[in-house]
Structure 1
Amino acid sequence: MTAFEPVPSYYAASANPTPPRPALQGQVDADVCVIGAGYTGLSTALFLAEAGYKVVVLEAASVGWGASGRNGGQIVNSYSRDLDAIEKQASPGNLKLLAEMAFEGAQIIRQRVKDYAIDCDLKEGGVMAAITNQQLKHLETQQTLWQKYGYDQLDLLDAKGIRSVVDSERYVGGVLDHTGGHIHPLNLALGEAAALESLGGQIYEHSAVTQIKPGEPVELVTAQGSVKARFAVVAGNAYLGDLLPQLASKSMPCGTQVITTEPLSNEQAARLIPQDYCIEDCNYLLDYYRLSGDKRLIYGGGVVYGARDPADIERIIRPKMQKTFPELAKIKVDYAWTGNFLLTLSRLPQMGRIGSNIYYSQGCSGHGVTFTHVAGKSLALAIQGQAERFDAFASLPHYPFPGGRLFRVPFTAMGALYYNLRDRLGI
């Protein structure tokens, strides 16, 4: 797939109507120029526009074309590495802020949907399902950890409880997160873009940034124009490329695969996932799935390090789906696609500043739906001079991958094989 080809996803096929947006032509001035019209960029831009800033967003493809419009659509709290890992790296003050923000992204999304009447099939409730007793013990520990930081919305599920929310024999238990949930991710991005434009923000599509010229103002150059701004926000994540090599060396694009079935019958959908929650298991290379608004099963899993597109996505994901739901062995798969997320070595997000006025956020490591909305608020507040949240994230160490960019894929894949083996052995 080339950089600007349409994505053959269920989300693209069922997206809400959206107006075409022009490519940037000539020079434009702004208070803030944002690179990337995914969740991070749109969230940042929307918070700034609400505060009265003149904001321009430059998107290489179209709104939500990257991970924001291709992901599993699951609203999951905390970070890819949980708060116990952050406890070892953050000062008490920063830890308090990071813990508060770990549960904020879901509420920001709900507020956006409410304030701007975004039609994105928002559903409440998410389940983390344990395949082994060891995983169930980990979930019990996680509940205690989150309670320590004031979050009391997790309910433990025993074997009978998990079967009441997902009709599969794979699981020994789990937890229900009441503030988890799921959305049509592309429609959320399109709705946030429309909200930004309603406040005077400008979005230019098919306007890849080819050069960033530091200075005051900073200048962002595209093929046919440029933007001069007081501040820039780099929010390209896995699709940033080599625009800023210092960021690329500390992260790695990874691909994940998703399939969507033909619509299930109402009876079948109500039996498989009765409360319409989203589900993810607790494996290192986890499976995640949910029902769409029109009762299709959206099922994802697997990781391709280095973000290569597999030749046969259905062949990779269908066995996982059938292991969870054997009765779907003969169901037709209508859509199959891949999308890239950005992995960091620590699996914690990276936020920082280059010079005095170029901000960035990247590396959600699989927890992007919620974190990107937290990042947007943190970046916007930092630009407004309230940097406490931003500084808490920026204080986390940013590690380069061992062996540099040449060896990051094989080293990471070897580590994943180790954890995958542990999952299989139940240790």
Structure 2
Amino acid sequence: MAETPSAHSPYPPSYYAASRNIVRESKALEGDVTADICVVGAGYSGLSSAISLAEHGFSVIVVEAAEVGWGASGRNGGQIVNGLNASLETIQRRYGDTTAAFFGTLLQEGAGIIYDRVERYGIQCDLKRGNIYAAYTPKHMDELRAKQALWRQHGMDDHELLDRAQIRKHIGSDVYEGGMIDHSGGHMHPLNLALGEAAAFESLGGTIFEHSPVTKVEQDATGATVTTAKGRVRAKTAIVCGNAYLGNVVPELTSRIMPVSTQMMATEPLGEDRAKALLPTDMCVEDVRYILDYFRLSADHRLIFGGGVVYGGTDPADVVAKLRPNLDKVFPQLKDVKIDYAWSGNFALSFSRVPQLGRLGQNIYFAHGDSGHGVTGTHLFGRILGEAVRGDMTRFDTFAKLPWIRFPGGRMFRAQYSTLGSWWYALRDKLGI
């Protein structure tokens, strides 16, 4: 069964929860309160929306079922990877040159928002620059060359191709054919980023109610009402940012996405010399397979290694058993290293792999379906939601007009269908085709 947050949900036993640098004094919503805007969900999407609006003088309340960053925002790989799950090439093929040109203006904006807010609000989240796409095969290298060329056509020239010898200077492994650096990408401690953004929002006069699961979101001609077990928020506008953990709170959104679980683990501290031998330039890495591995170093010299998917959002019985063979393949020198932490988290997958922004009626906005590329996307879409609420619908409408597709098989069989598809793509990865 997919994980569902409740008022009593503690942070999962992750490295991030154990090393967070802010322990909040949380408060639950009790009674009736009012605001200009009520945001549902205190992850990146909700916090980004809330900050964008609070910076423009709106009174904003955020309501969270568990705690700030409890979901994907506090469990992810910590990688600032530009772009969407659906490639710019795919978007161009599906939706045409005009839409592709629009997306081309957005692909690096989310990362820029993160860098700006970390500096502006003094957020301590171990931020580093640079991410590497790692290629296993010559075909993968052809894909990276095409990506570099296409992004250059849209004015982005931060990508540096690496051959087999060059990538070895960045990754202490012999498994890769080559790769590509995105110098505008990076990595950080994701939960500390979320907690720092929450503090930034509160410094602007915003309010966050935690341990307050939302039971329904309603609207009428004059505004929206967000109801929890012990209270209500009455606002002019509601913004729904529950993503993979929204459940059936807003039934109209349930069939649009599917929760998908991904897994991570963190080694024991390796020491500076051993860690530097693995990743000499301290960039984060993800390979370019359909079902990929991703990894980076923490500030205290652990290797954080993730990968794998489980459609439907269920957790594997043994995360370490699932990930350890992949870790040993990339870094056989770590075969006897102890794993200190292992955890899972869900992201929201859309069938098209393109995020969805939209509006229900006049007073409820939503954003979801980042499909595994949510660190940058959520920050961007929070800004676009803020623009829409303030009356500038230009970018919001472009997203809202994109068609969305139901998962084949409906809610009951969507996970099975997606699993079959993933087997096919995993076979293609294995065969190098």
TM-score range for the pair, normalised by the shorter chain length? over 0.9
CA-to-partner distance for each residue in 1:263-311, whole Å, 9 max, x for gaps? 1121111111000000000110000000001100000000011111111
- Gaps of at least 5 residues in structure 1 are none
- Match of 1:195, as an amino acid? A
| Residues 36 and 60 in structure 1, CA contact (< 8 A), matched pair in contact too | yes
| Residues 91 and 99 in structure 2, CA contact (< 8 A), matched pair in contact too | no
Q: Corresponding residue for 1:80?
A: 85
* Match for residue 227 of structure 2 among 221, 240, 248: 221
User: What is the CA distance between 1:313 and its match in structure 2?
Assistant: 0.5
User: What is the CA distance between 1:403 and its match in structure 2?
Assistant: 1.6
In 2, Cα distance between the equivalents of 1:314 and 1:274? Answer: 25
* Match for residue 293 of structure 1 among 290, 299, 304: 299
In 1, Cα distance between the equivalents of 2:178 and 2:68? Answer: 38
Q: Corresponding residue for 2:343?
A: 337
- Match of 1:279, as an amino acid? V
TM-score, normalization: structure 2?
Answer: 0.97
| Residues 4 and 247 in structure 2, CA contact (< 8 A), matched pair in contact too | no
* Match for residue 187 of structure 2 among 169, 182, 185: 182
State the aligned residue count.
Answer: 427
Cα–Cα, structure 1 residues 55 and 2, in superposed 2: closer, same or farther, change >3 Å? closer
Cα–Cα, structure 1 residues 375 and 15, in superposed 2: closer, same or farther, change >3 Å? same
Q: Corresponding residue for 2:28?
A: 23
* Match for residue 99 of structure 1 among 100, 104, 110: 104
* Match for residue 430 of structure 2 among 376, 401, 424: 424
In 2, Cα distance between the equivalents of 1:256 and 1:158? Answer: 29
Q: Corresponding residue for 2:259?
A: 253
- Match of 1:285, as an amino acid? I
Q: Secondary structure at the match of 1:330?
A: coil
Q: Corresponding residue for 1:41?
A: 46
* Match for residue 198 of structure 2 among 193, 196, 220: 193
* Match for residue 178 of structure 2 among 162, 167, 173: 173
In 1, Cα distance between the equivalents of 2:251 and 2:178? Answer: 44
| Residues 89 and 396 in structure 1, CA contact (< 8 A), matched pair in contact too | no
Structure 1 range deviating more: 301-310 or 244-253: 244-253
Alignment pair present for 1:369 and 2:375: yes
CA-to-partner distance for each residue in 1:66-91, whole Å, 9 max, x for gaps? 00000000000010011111113446
In 1, Cα distance between the equivalents of 2:213 and 2:296? Answer: 33
Q: Secondary structure at the match of 1:366?
A: coil
Identity of aligned residues (%): 52
In 1, Cα distance between the equivalents of 2:112 and 2:264? Answer: 26
CA RMSD of aligned residues (A): 1.0
CA-to-partner distance for each residue in 1:155-204, whole Å, 9 max, x for gaps? 00001111111011110000000011001000000000000000100000
Q: Corresponding residue for 2:132?
A: 127
TM-score, normalization: structure 1?
Answer: 0.98
User: What is the CA distance between 1:96 and its match in structure 2?
Assistant: 2.8
* Match for residue 289 of structure 2 among 283, 293, 310: 283
- Match of 1:134, as an amino acid? K
Alignment pair present for 1:55 and 2:60: yes
In 1, Cα distance between the equivalents of 2:232 and 2:113? Answer: 31
- Gaps of at least 5 residues in structure 2 are none
In 2, Cα distance between the equivalents of 1:124 and 1:95? Answer: 26
Q: Secondary structure at the match of 2:169?
A: helix
| Residues 11 and 67 in structure 2, CA contact (< 8 A), matched pair in contact too | no
- Match of 2:188, as an amino acid? I
